[in-house]
Copies of this chain bind each other. A is one copy, B any other.
């Protein structure tokens, strides 16, 4: 009888609990879900990347277009759980050894693909007359990497087990740790308060990832019963979900993105015997939760601001700089895995997504970014997010072909080659 709930006085509303969920809110969340799914359907039928469809679907029902939905706190929570589940599922598909095997190119890529965009962003900022603090935030926004979009594309294309996919994932984890430290430094410098806490946060972040990796090594071959010993757990899902959420929250409290913790939790469980069953159980949760992430992200797009020529030019300059510097980061950092593979890594680092949006808003909040540059930067962040799936769609088939040819070449001179007589 929710339609009648309006009658009680506001001070009683806390008592209503389960029945107090306003029908309007449920409808609004439902429309966001429908928008994302309808967008995906249209995109797929037009041969476009599914995730671009979900983003545009969210944009169309969102506040900057039809305004059917204005995502609030609840949508944000569903979106956050959605991307946490997405990265947890990605972690489930990755073996720690495979990730460590690409440690060198991943570290190099992360460092170069953070350094170059910062330099480019600061240079552009100074060129257009921003003070150093504002320029630094432009650099940081261009340096951020949101792995959510890329993970989804790699998963959709079924290439999460490829070398370049692992380099992107490893680099994204390192990138997030670096970004955390860099933001702490810039925000601290802006407030004239460069305390030791930034360093401590950095150490804690590295510690969490390190402990996670060590736990993954120890978790190898753990029996399914480790997860199903509670009486409430007929299957590993609920204990694994609790572990995922614990890591995500720890990660968020340290200051890292929650998805980093979720990814590490996935890595750990991937080593246990519960892996395969969990991959099946987590799938329905991903299908229902993750559209909220892409829908909410899409609802933040303000494609209308592209109509302002000043913003458009600035956004294009920043977008080009953002794409080129990340691509170069991949090419320089991951060249050991092959030419197209390294370009695929660079393309995978392109989307700034919600991480970039947070940085841009931080800069605005700190009073370091004016309204004009704020809009241009926000549009650039959004464009990198929409462009990336297209870049990946072009690059990945070539990277796969390159890997195939390289494997054939190795086979030709390897053990299956002609005998040495």
Residue ranges of A at the interface with B (Cβ–Cβ < 8 Å)? 1-5, 7-9, 12, 14-23, 25-27, 29-30, 33-34, 37, 40-41, 44-45, 50, 63, 70-77, 79-81, 83, 179-180, 183, 187, 230-232, 235, 237-238, 241-242, 245-246, 248-249, 252-258, 281-285, 287-288, 293, 296-297, 299-300, 354-355, 357-359, 361-362, 364-366, 378
Contacts and interface: CB of A to CB of B under 8 A. Distances in A.
A3 B254 contact: yes
A299 B242 contact: no
B73 A253 contact: no
Contacts of A231: 40-41, 44-45
B238 A20 contact: no
A364 B17 contact: no
A77 B29 contact: yes
A280 to B, nearest CB: 8
A364 B26 contact: no
A296 B71 contact: no
B255 A73 contact: no
A365 B7 contact: yes
A262 to B, nearest CB: 12
A18 B79 contact: yes
A73 B21 contact: yes
Contacts of A73: 20-22, 25, 73-74
Contacts of A284: 237, 281-285
Contacts of A34: 242
Contact of A232 (B41, B241, B355, B366): B41
B80 A238 contact: no
Given A41-B230, A73-B74, A249-B30, A80 B4 contact: no
A186 to B, nearest CB: 11
Contact of A362 (B7, B33, B41, B249): B7
A232 B33 CA distance: 13
Contacts of A300: 15, 17-18
Given A44-B231, A287-B237, A299 B17 contact: yes
Contact of A253 (B7, B23, B70, B248): B23
Contacts of A183: 1, 4
A400 to B, nearest CB: 22
Contacts of A245: 26, 30, 33
17 contacts: A1-B257, A1-B359, A4-B183, A8-B364, A15-B361, A16-B357, A18-B83, A19-B76, A19-B355, A19-B358, A26-B258, A30-B245, A37-B238, A41-B231, A237-B284, A238-B288, A283-B284
A158 to B, nearest CB: 12
A9 to B, nearest CB: 6
For the complex of A and B, the 8 pairs showing the least CB-CB separation, nearest first, are A8-B365, A18-B79, A21-B80, A21-B76, A44-B231, A8-B361, A7-B365, A74-B74
A41 B230 CA distance: 7
Contacts of A72: 14
Nearest to A241: B288
A45 B5 CA distance: 38
Given A4-B183, A19-B354, A21-B79, 20 more contacts: A2-B258, A4-B187, A4-B255, A4-B358, A7-B361, A8-B365, A9-B364, A12-B361, A16-B361, A18-B293, A19-B355, A21-B76, A21-B80, A26-B81, A33-B245, A34-B242, A44-B231, A74-B74, A237-B288, A238-B288
